[in-house]
């Protein structure tokens, strides 16, 4: 296998000879913003200078070095019975190749998903082959360049993400889509996300997929540095570390991937990248709330296919109800089961179309109705102060919706509020 020089050092990703798939991904390393600080490493090497050199190089990439060994340790001393406390183990080959390779083989035999890197002061094809057979993932030679090490760490991070994905269930994807433009989807989705993180106690992601011009950041009073277009336009660079960099924290339990804050003419997004972005977010968050804007656009089908629950937002007016009926009919034809109709800005005293007429028009049961409060919503959006910070009928119903989404009983005495139709 050819070794590609990187700066003054050489770094090679080694195919795993122990039954795992070879690492053949061509990761493009962003020059700034990739977060590898969540990787934890152990470094094994007898020479203080050499060991401190690799520790310093790892720290320079944001990796936490949890432990250093001045000699080749017993396997039980290195690894805990419940699982490895590290993502990466770096082993110096030169003090004793046979002992080092025996340790590498033992580590990979017990925990094949762990990334083992080996390093030496010389490049030897025979030694590289022995490392591959032992199960090492990366081979580095001194002096170690920052670019070469960064590439190896990105691959290690990708392996860890795959391992975590296999261990835990994906988060739920909750998609809000409007039957017609101006249905109030952004206000509803943004405030619902706040209610959901409060009621569930889980970490929530809120994604603004209005690709031409987003409003979630305005509603929440935020000024994000990055937008969803940075994610969807990143191509092969799109991974968990990049997405982590693009998110903006509204608070410790709510992270936002905002829409563009300037009008984007002729913008388009690839459905494959959309699916990958949603998958990455679901791996990290218990719930991913999407402001899908109007349901009548090209990528809506991709969203609907991936969604655990679709909240179709409409209004008590003929154009909105007509569109909603058509969308519901399509969703039913595809076998989509979990759809909840939300009638926004509904005033029982002034509505010319009542609840029975709405259900008849839609041929679908209503689930939620949100009262109209134009003055309150306008004040909230103008000041960037979410409705959930106020005690009002609208925030109460949104909180009910959040409780329903996370399987939590609504507050005692509020089960028959204005917003929920009893069935």
Domain assignment of residue 41, yes or no: yes
Structure tokens, 252: 């410790």
Q: Which of 277, 279, 336 has its CA nearest to residue 304?
A: 336
Same structural domain, 155 and 176? no
Best CA proximity match to 309, nearest among 389, 392, 368: 368
* Total tally of structural domains belonging to the chain: 2
CA atoms within 13 A on the CB side of 27: 24
Mean pLDDT of 66-88: 83
Final residue of a domain: which of 167, 183, 209? Answer: 167
CA 372 to chain centre: 33
Pair (309, 330) in one structural domain:
yes
159 and 195 in a common domain: no
In a domain, 416, yes or no: no
Highest average pLDDT, of 60-69, 254-263, 405-414, comes from 254-263
Tokens read off for 132: 């591959």
Nearest alpha carbon to residue 183 among 52, 16, 365, 311: 311
Residues 294 and 351 in one domain: yes
> 249: helix, coil or strand?
strand
Cβ proximity of 78 and 42 under 8 Å: yes
Are 183 and 161 found together in one domain? no
Same domain for 337 and 301: yes
CATH number at residue 232: 3.40.50.300
Cα dihedral 78→79→81→85 (10° resolution): 130
Return the pLDDT at 35.
47
* Residues 196, 82 within the same domain: no
Sequence-distant (6+) residues with CB within 8 A of 231 are: 238, 242, 243, 246, 257, 273, 277
Is residue 201 packed enough to be buried (19+ CB in 10 Å), middle (13-18) or exposed (0-12)? exposed
* Residues 17-33: tens digit of each pLDDT: 444 433 333 333 333 33
Please give the angle made by the CA atoms of 375, 174 and 160, to the nearest 5 degrees. 130
Tokens of 173: 């994807």
- pTM metric for this prediction: 0.64
* Helix or strand (DSSP H, E) at 104: helix 97-110
The string of DSSP codes covering 185-222 is HHHHHHHHHHHHHHHH-S-EEEEE--SSS--HHHHTT-
For residue 150, the enclosing domain spans: 5-167
**244 within domain boundaries:** yes
Q: What pLDDT, on a 0 to 100 scale, did the predictor assign at position 405?
A: 97
**396 and 329 within one domain:** yes
Q: Residue 77 sits in a domain of what CATH number? A: 3.40.50.2300
Residue 415 inside a domain? The answer is no
Question: Are 141 and 212 contained in the same domain?
Answer: no
234-260 tens-digit pLDDT: 888 888 889 999 999 999 999 999 999
Average pLDDT, the chain: 84
Strand partners, 80: 83
- The per-residue pLDDT for 19 is 43
């Amino acid at each position: 296998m050819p070794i590609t020089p990187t700066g003054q050092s050489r770094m090679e990703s080694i195919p795993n000879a122990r039954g795992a798939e070879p690492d053949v991904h061509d990761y493009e390393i962003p020059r700034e913003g990739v977060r590898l600080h969540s990787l934890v490493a152990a470094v094994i090497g007898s020479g203080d200078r050499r060991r401190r050199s690799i520790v310093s190089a790892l720290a320079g990439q944001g990796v936490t070095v949890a432990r250093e060994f001045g000699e080749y340790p017993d396997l039980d001393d290195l690894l805990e019975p419940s699982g490895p406390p590290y993502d990466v183990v770096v082993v110096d080959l030169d003090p004793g190749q046979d002992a080092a390779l025996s340790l590498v083989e033992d580590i990979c035999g017990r925990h094949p998903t762990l990334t083992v890197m080996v390093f030496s002061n010389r490049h030897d094809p025979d030694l590289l082959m022995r490392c591959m057979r032992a199960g090492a993932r990366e081979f580095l030679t001194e002096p170690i360049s920052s670019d070469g090490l960064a590439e190896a760490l990105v691959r290690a991070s990708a392996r860890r993400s795959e391992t975590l994905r296999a261990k835990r269930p994906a988060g739920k994807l909750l998609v809000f889509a409007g039957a017609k433009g101006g249905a109030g989807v952004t206000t509803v989705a943004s405030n619902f996300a706040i209610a959901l993180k409060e009621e569930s106690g889980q970490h929530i992601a809120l994604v603004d997929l209005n690709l031409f011009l987003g409003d979630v950041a305005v509603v929440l009073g935020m000024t994000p540095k990055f937008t969803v277009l940075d994610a969807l336009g990143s191509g092969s660079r799109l991974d968990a570390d990049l997405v982590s960099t693009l998110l903006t924290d509204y608070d410790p339990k709510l992270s936002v991937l905002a829409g563009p804050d300037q009008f984007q003419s002729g913008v388009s997004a690839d459905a494959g990248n959309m699916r990958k972005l949603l998958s990455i977010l679901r791996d990290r968050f218990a719930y991913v709330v999407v402001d899908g804007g109007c349901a009548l656009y090209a990528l809506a089908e991709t969203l609907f296919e991936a969604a655990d629950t679709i909240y179709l937002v409409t209004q008590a007016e003929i154009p909105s109800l007509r569109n909603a009926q058509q969308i519901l009919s399509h969703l039913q034809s595809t076998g989509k089961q979990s759809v909840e109709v939300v009638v926004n800005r509904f005033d029982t005293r002034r509505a010319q179309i009542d609840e029975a007429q709405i259900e008849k028009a839609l041929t679908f049961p209503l689930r939620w109705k949100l009262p109209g409060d134009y003055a309150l919503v306008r004040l909230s959006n103008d000041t960037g102060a979410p409705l959930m910070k106020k005690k009002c009928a609208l925030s109460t119903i949104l909180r009910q919706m959040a409780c329903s989404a996370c399987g939590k009983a609504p507050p005692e005495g509020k089960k028959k509020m204005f917003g929920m139709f009893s069935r």
